[in-house]
Amino acid sequence: MASHRRPKQPSRTRRVTVLTATAAAAVALTTQGAQAEPKASKKEVKEKVDKLYEEAEGATEKYNGAKEKQNKLEKEVANLQDSVARGQDDLNDMRNGLGSMATAQYRTGGVDPSVQLFLSSDPDSYLDKASTLDQLSSKQAEALKKIQTKQRNLAQQRQEAADKLKDLADTRKELGEKKKGIQAKLSKARGLLNKLTAGDRARLAAEQARADRASASRVDLGSDASASQRAAAALSAAKSKIGSPYVWGATGPSSFDCSGLTSWAYKQAGVSLPRTSQAQAGAGTQIGRGALAPGDLVIFYGDQHHIGFYAGNGQILHAPKPGAGVRYESINNMPFQFGVRIG
């Protein structure tokens, strides 16, 4: 009879050896997979980052538009609420006046007028009182009409305020979503930059610093004699901010986004411009590239999400992007759309 022996179990040493070999193979495969993934070059990362910055700037201008709408709505709602409160006070005064008149009429109208006339020791005096009663009734009717009109007006104002409050709530929600979108793009850009080696990051920073320094040392802008007085004043104000950092949503005086710089600079010249680049694109007379003079606004990209000043000799002065300061650049660096001359 064959013996039924229990199969011999592998020794602990052998099990450890097998597990170690398996783990080593897994690490090797993982390493090979990681090595197989091509590493982005500094140039590729810069292109991706610049694209993200461009998208973030487009989103920023939409954010600026929503922010401006929010500010406008907040003022309109506050004015309406103040008007409703004042109207309610007026309505209360009208009602009190009407009540006083009704009380007076009741007190004098308790006896039938014909009986009062018959009993009166002084008919002439009574007739004077009766005439006053008629006037009182007429005033009462007029007061009622005024109250009804005031009530209708107040109801309309309350409805308008309610509609604007809803619009304001929707706008605030939109603002929050746009802010998250901008921050996500900027965060992604930072993540890409952090994947570069320390040396590559240092070289990119040095390139940015050189571009800022080149702008700080005045470029050849030619003559600005053709600029209008206000345009020249606005451009001069913008020049005083060379080197100020780009910050999305900022309108100065220490940091700016693109439309924040142009609106701030023109404000120093006594001209009020809309907040966004798209709105500023329609704030003056549209002109072609050949007609540009220093101080004119210059619109870039098909969706008009970037704006700057024409500075002369093919140069623009603008707040370019995150990580860069206000500086001069060639007008050819971005897709030109048209110029805008502020009257």
Write down the catalytic residue from 258, 279, 316, 331.
258
Token output for 198: 């320390």
If we measure between CA atoms, which residue out of 138, 132, 343, 327 comes closest to residue 246? 327
Note if 305 is an active site residue.
no
Cα dihedral across residues 114, 119, 121, 126: positive or negative: negative
User: Residue 176 and residue 22: Cα distance in Å, rounded?
Assistant: 50
Bridge partners (DSSP) listed for residue 319: none
Query: Which amino acid type is present at position 149?
Result: T
Cα gap 57→259, rounded to integer Å: 10
- Three-state secondary structure string covering 208-271: HHHHHHHHHCCCCCCCCCCCCHHHHHHHHHHHCCCCCEECCCCECCCCECHHHHHHHHHHHCCC
Closest CA to 186 of 339, 304, 59: 59
Report the candidate in 319, 313, 107 with the shortest Cα–Cα distance to residue 227: 313
Ramachandran category for residue 128: left, alpha or beta (phi over 0 → left; psi -120 to 50 → alpha):
alpha
Residue 59 tokens read as: 């989103």
Between the alpha carbon of residue 231 and those of residues 163, 223, 297, 337, the distances in Å are: 40, 14, 9, 20
Tell me which H or E stretch contains 308: strand 306-312
User: Distance between CA 50 and CA 227 in Å, rounded?
Assistant: 32
Using the Cα atoms of residue 309, residue 48, residue 190 and residue 182 in order, give the sign of their dihedral.
Answer: positive
Clarify whether 133 is annotated catalytic: no
| Residue 306 known to be catalytic | yes
Say which of 62, 185, 318, 321 is annotated catalytic: 318
Catalytic residue among 67, 306, 321, 327: 306
End-to-end CA separation in angstroms for the chain: 115
Q: What amino acid positions are annotated as catalytic residues?
A: 258, 306, 318
